[in-house]
Structure 1
């Protein structure tokens, strides 16, 4: 096997009674695995080409562990543990980062994000929603919704309680990955597929969606929507809403530069450059008309907010008397105005 792979992972998961995958746990996913590992694994699992999710038996897991003993001791040790499983096993192979075609593939890409192997916007997530079944996440793991009532009855008859924490396509991240160096006040508010950088604190009302996150360090007290990536040293105030969209769908990607402050109940629909501040309660969408002010507070020009996207050192605020959205900069607004004209 000479063609390099994009990713490979050995997983254990849950299937419903019809054998359909509900979820998959990959303890140690690999990005761009070594050629030697690929050459050792592929013949043992019958892999030929393309993106595939290949079920394996306990015996195959043992064979894979032996084959990787001197090539990758960590993966070998993992496979030895997987060989003890009573749950179904799978090897997910991604030849390339293309549109998704199976539930195990979707879970692998979510793991790559939460393991910090790929940053948000760095993966093709096209087709992910139909491939993630709506699942009851319970005290006994993932349960198919059509089987939930029977499982609840079975638990009661044994004197047990099957607690349902949520019904959703996405599980919480910490049931699969707990990144190093983070504080997560309420882990149920962080979905698998979130990227939580070293030094990040997510407070109780903070929420981080999949394909979104923060480079860290920083404080998240509001909502980081899918498609939003927050730079280092930024603070998203309580109740803040960021209106990002999925990069895989061809929509605008929202990024937040380093050292930004988005106040409580504020929101953005444009990328922010470094050291931007958005006043509490202010929503700045791409079409918002913004009065550009110079250092003395004089009006220079009225622009749409999209023209200020990615510019550093901006303060967005609302005029308390007129209600107009204004923007001041630590640099001369005249210079910024000239830059905008040159860009146009």
Structure 2
């Protein structure tokens, strides 16, 4: 069988005692795999088309490793290792970028983001939450919450401790992938499904959600919420809350261009262009009334913040006397007027 796939991945994961998937680890997920690899995988696994999650035996992994030796040495080496696993194996083959339908599919989508194969909102995550079980993340891996008390007792009876780090649908990214060229001061504050670009530094209070991230290089000292993508050379000040969509798969993307500075305790609900500054403590939503000033400080027009969304070289601040939100630009009043009326 020969066909084009959106993605393919071979993984090892954790199931509860009923055989339901809790999580899956994909060491080398592929985007747009080659036709020869797809044909070999289809033959070995009995793939018949569409988006499928297929249980994979150790024997199948071994046979597929042999079939791929001359096609993809890296995938062959991975499958050779997987063939030795005492944990359950799975193969996910996605013919198209549709909403995930199984837990292994959902984990593959999150891996594609954290492996930098797709950017935030670059793959469908619609309906992902029900597919991600809420589990206890422990020093022994993922544990079903219904089995946690018994596992804790078993550990104590052996003189051991089962430590629970968090109870959540999302694990921390670094338990699955550490992208090259990044610094993360507190790994618990970056979820799997975050896209962390080369040269990014995330300080201790920085947080990056799934389906969000940074192009890098830049520094994150505040919160990057789902749906937000921060451009190169930007600095999100400590305690800032960059507001994007609250769940994956939405249609709204809050992008932050290159060279931006969002001050401490500031927040945005609109995308920014390049070289924009939002002063500390200022929170901008799409409906915020903004007094637009020219380069001489004269009032040009009062607009809603959504009307200046995505523009470059903006300074957003609050007037210390009147309390009005102001936007100053290096553009002339005539140029800015043309931009504003183009939105109307």
Calculate the TM-score normalised by the size of structure 2. 0.98
Matches within 5 A, 1:248-327: 249-327=249-327
Q: Distance in 1 between matches of 2:119 and 2:50?
A: 23
State how far apart, in whole Å, the 1-side matches of 2:247 and 2:121 are. Answer: 6
Aligned to 1:243: 243
Q: 1:103-134 deviations in whole A, cap 9, x for unaligned?
A: 00000010000000000010010110000000
Asked whether the 8 Å contact 2:2–2:36 carries over to 1, the reply is: no
1:75-114 superposed matches below 5 A: 75-114=75-114
Instruction: Report if aligned partners of 1:292, 1:333 keep a CA contact under 8 Å in 2.
Output: no
Alpha-carbon shift at residue 332 of structure 1 (Å): 1.5
CA distance in 1, matches of 2:333, 2:272: 17
Q: Is the contact made by 2:288 and 2:304 (CA closer than 8 Å) also made in structure 1?
A: yes
Q: Partner residue of 2:205?
A: 205
Query: Which deviations, in whole Å up to 9, do the C-alpha atoms of 1:141-193 show, x marking residues without a partner?
Result: 00000000000000000010000000000000000000000000000000000
SS where residue 315 of structure 1 aligns? strand
Give, in whole Å, the separation in 2 of the partners of 1:224 and 1:329: 25
- Distance (whole Å) between structure 2 residues aligned to residue 277 and residue 49 of structure 1: 49
Contact preservation (8 Å) 2:294, 2:330: no
1:261 and 1:278 in contact (8 A); partners too: yes
Q: In the TM superposition, what whole-angstrom CA distance separates every residue of 1:30-52 from its partner, at most 9, and x where no partner exists?
A: 00000010011101101101111
SS in 2 for 1:216: coil
CA apart distance, 1:339: 2.0
SS of equivalent to 1:109: helix
Structure 2: which 5+ runs fail to align?
none
> Are 2:22 and 1:2 aligned?
no
How many residue pairs were aligned?
344
| Contact 1:41 1:64 survives alignment (8 Å) | yes
| TM-score, length of structure 1 as denominator length | 0.98
Tell me, yes or no, if the aligned pair for 1:227 and 1:245 is still in contact at 8 Å: yes
Counterpart in 2 of 1:329? Answer: 329
Deviations along 1:279-309, one digit per CA (max 9) or x if unpaired, are 0000010000000011111111100000000
Q: Secondary structure, in 3 states, of the residue corresponding to 1:54? A: strand
Quickly say closer, same or farther: Cα 1:249–1:173, change in 2 above 3 A. closer
Would you say the 8 A contact 1:211–1:246 is kept in 2?
no
CA distance in 2, matches of 1:323, 1:137: 46
